C-alpha cells in the first residue's frame, strides 16, 4: 500500500491535516459489507428489473423526461396565470407601488413565455437525441476524427473529442435563445447593458476557459477509473481537490477576465462595513466593487475566501439601488450565512451527494444493457457516466427539491441574523428596493415557488421579519 499522504486543508476554524490513504482504506472497509448486503443487492435488482419492464433504460429515461416536462410546465402555467393579476397582494400594498408591481408582472410574464418555448425546444432535442441515437453518432464521429490522425484505441482522447463536439454543437443550437434572452427580453425591460461584441467575447472566453480547465479534469477523471477497480473513492477525492482549487482561483483569476474589481473607496460605507465585520469577528481583508453594470442592471453582493482571508464584493448596481444602511443590512444577511456555517454545511452535503453518485455509478458501469439501450456497441467510461446520470435523474429531481427547501431555510436564518444585529427595518426596505429594481416576482404561485425557488418569496421573508412600513 502506498504511504499515507498528508495535506493541510484550511477551514474557518483552523487547519485540518487530511491523511488521504487511511481515509480511503476506512471507506473501503465500510462500503464493502454494504455493497454485499442482501438488501442492497435486492434493491439494485428491483431497480434494474423495473427499468427492464419498460423494455430498456432508454425508454424509461425518455418516459421520465416527459413526466418532468409535463410537471414543470404545469407548474409554470400556474405561475403564468398569476402574472395576469394586476392587483398588488395585500401584504405588499403598503410597500410596493402599483406601477412597479405591474411592470414586475409584465417582466415575469415575458420570461414565462420564453421559458415555455425554450422548455418545449429542450424536450424536442431530448426526444430526437434518444429516438435517433444521436450520442452514438457523435461517439463514432469522434473515433473517425482521431483515425484521420492515425490515433486508435485511445478512449480518453476519443472522450475529449466527443465532449468538444457536444459543447460546440450545443452552443450553436442554443445561441439564438441566448441572444433573444439578452438582447430582446432583458433589453425590453432595461436590464441588458451588453453590446453584441461584448456578448460574443464573453461567450468565446467562457468556451475557452471551459475547455482549458474541463478537458484535463475529465482526462484525469477517466484515467482514475481506468486504473482502479474501486474508483469511486479516488474520483471523489480527485473532484474534491479540484473543487477546492477552482473555488480558490475563480474569484482571483477567472472572474477578473470578465469583470473589473476596484477597492471600495474610503468613506462612511467602508468604515461601517469594517465595523460590522469586527463586531461579529468576520475575518475581512478586502472590500471590492465589481462593474456588474457593464452587462446588466441586476444587483448582488457576496463574500469569498478561505479561513482568515475573506473578501466582500459589492455590485456597483447595488450601490446605486440601495442606501448605505440598506447595504449594511444586506451584508449582515450575507454574513449570517458565514456565521451559521451555511456554506460549509452545503459543501458537506454536496460532497456526500457526489460520493454517492460515484459509488452508484460503480455498480452500473459494466451493465451491458445500459449501453446497448442507448445504441452503443462498446462501453466507454464517459458514455457510461452520462447514461448513468440519465437513469439517476429521478433521484436527482427529488434531491434538487430538497436542496431548495434547505436553501430557503438557510435564507430565513440569515435574515434572522441580520435582524438580531438590529438591521430589521433596513433589511426589509433593502429587500423591497432590490426586488422592485430587479422586477422580481411578487405574487408567486405557492407550488411553483416551493419546487423552483432556492430563496423564499419576498412576501414570506417580510412576514418572517415582522411588520413593515412603506419604503420611500
Beta bridge partners of 262: 289
Confidence band of 38 (pLDDT split at 50, 70, 90): low
Task: Report the C-alpha dihedral over residues 267, 270, 272, 278, rounded to 10 degrees.
Answer: -140
- The pLDDT of residue 468 is 47
Task: Estimate to the nearest angstrom the gap between the alpha carbon of 193 and the chain centroid.
Answer: 24
Q: Mean of the pLDDT values across residues 111-124?
A: 97
84-100 pLDDT, tens per residue?
Answer: 999 998 888 888 999 99
118 versus 49: the higher-pLDDT residue is: 118
Among residues 144, 173, 178, 177, the alpha carbon closest in space to that of 161 is found at 144
Annotated catalytic residue, options 334, 367, 426, 460: 334
* Annotation says 144 is catalytic: no
* Annotation says 415 is catalytic: yes
91 versus 359: the higher-pLDDT residue is: 359
409-421 pLDDT, tens per residue?
Answer: 999 999 999 999 9
Mean of pLDDT over the chain: 87
Annotated catalytic residue, options 415, 426, 445, 460: 415
- Is it the case that residue 13 has pLDDT exceeding 60? no
Amino acid at each position: 500500500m502506498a504511504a499515507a499522504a498528508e495535506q493541510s486543508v484550511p477551514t474557518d476554524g483552523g487547519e485540518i491535516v487530511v491523511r488521504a490513504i487511511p481515509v480511503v482504506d476506512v471507506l473501503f472497509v465500510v462500503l464493502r459489507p454494504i455493497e454485499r448486503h442482501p438488501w442492497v443487492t435486492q434493491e439494485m435488482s428491483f431497480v434494474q428489473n423495473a427499468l427492464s419492464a419498460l423494455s430498456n433504460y432508454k425508454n424509461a429515461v425518455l418516459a421520465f423526461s416527459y413526466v418532468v416536462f409535463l410537471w414543470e410546465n404545469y407548474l409554470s402555467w400556474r405561475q403564468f396565470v398569476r402574472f395576469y393579476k394586476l392587483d398588488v397582494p395585500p401584504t405588499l400594498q403598503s410597500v410596493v407601488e402599483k406601477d412597479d408591481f405591474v411592470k414586475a408582472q409584465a417582466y415575469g410574464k415575458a420570461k414565462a413565455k420564453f421559458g415555455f418555448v425554450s422548455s418545449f425546444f429542450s424536450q424536442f432535442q431530448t426526444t430526437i437525441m434518444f429516438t435517433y441515437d444521436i450520442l452514438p453518432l457523435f461517439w463514432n464521429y469522434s473515433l473517425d476524427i482521431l483515425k484521420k490522425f492515425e490515433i486508435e484505441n485511445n478512449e480518453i482522447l476519443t472522450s475529449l473529442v466527443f465532449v468538444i463536439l457536444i459543447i460546440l454543437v450545443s452552443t450553436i443550437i442554443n445561441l439564438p435563445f441566448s441572444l433573444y434572452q439578452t438582447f430582446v427580453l432583458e433589453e425590453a425591460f432595461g436590464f441588458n447593458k451588453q453590446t453584441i461584441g461584448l456578448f460574443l467575447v464573453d461567450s468565446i472566453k467562457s468556451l475557452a476557459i471551459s475547455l482549458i480547465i474541463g478537458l484535463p479534469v475529465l482526462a484525469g477523471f477517466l484515467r482514475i477509473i481506468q486504473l482502479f477497480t474501486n474508483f469511486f473513492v479516488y474520483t471523489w477525492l480527485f473532484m474534491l481537490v479540484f473543487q477546492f482549487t477552482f473555488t480558490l482561483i475563480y474569484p482571483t483569476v477567472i472572474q477578473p477576465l470578465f469583470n473589473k474589481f476596484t477597492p471600495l473607496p474610503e468613506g462612511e460605507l467602508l468604515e461601517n462595513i469594517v465595523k460590522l465585520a469586527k463586531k461579529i469577528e468576520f475575518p475581512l481583508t478586502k472590500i471590492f466593487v465589481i462593474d456588474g453594470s457593464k452587462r446588466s442592471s441586476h444587483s448582488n453582493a457576496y463574500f469569498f475566501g478561505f479561513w482568515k482571508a475573506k473578501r466582500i464584493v459589492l455590485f456597483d448596481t447595488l450601490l446605486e439601488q440601495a442606501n448605505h444602511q440598506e447595504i449594511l443590512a444586506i451584508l449582515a444577511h450575507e454574513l449570517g450565512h458565514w456565521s451559521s456555517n451555511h456554506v460549509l454545511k452545503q459543501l458537506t452535503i454536496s460532497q456526500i451527494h457526489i460520493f454517492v453518485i460515484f459509488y452508484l455509478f460503480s455498480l452500473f458501469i459494466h451493465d451491458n444493457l445500459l449501453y446497448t439501450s442507448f445504441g452503443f456497441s462498446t462501453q466507454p467510461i464517459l458514455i457510461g457516466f452520462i447514461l448513468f446520470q440519465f437513469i439517476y435523474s429521478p433521484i436527482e429531481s427529488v434531491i434538487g427539491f430538497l436542496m431548495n427547501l434547505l436553501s430557503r431555510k438557510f435564507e430565513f436564518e440569515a435574515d434572522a441574523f441580520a435582524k438580531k444585529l438590529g438591521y430589521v427595518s433596513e433589511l426589509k426596505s433593502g429587500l423591497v428596493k432590490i426586488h422592485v429594481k430587479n422586477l422580481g416576482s411578487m405574487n408567486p404561485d405557492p407550488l411553483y415557488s416551493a419546487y423552483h425557488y432556492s430563496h423564499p418569496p419576498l412576501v414570506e421573508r417580510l412576514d418572517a421579519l415582522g411588520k413593515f412600513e412603506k419604503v420611500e
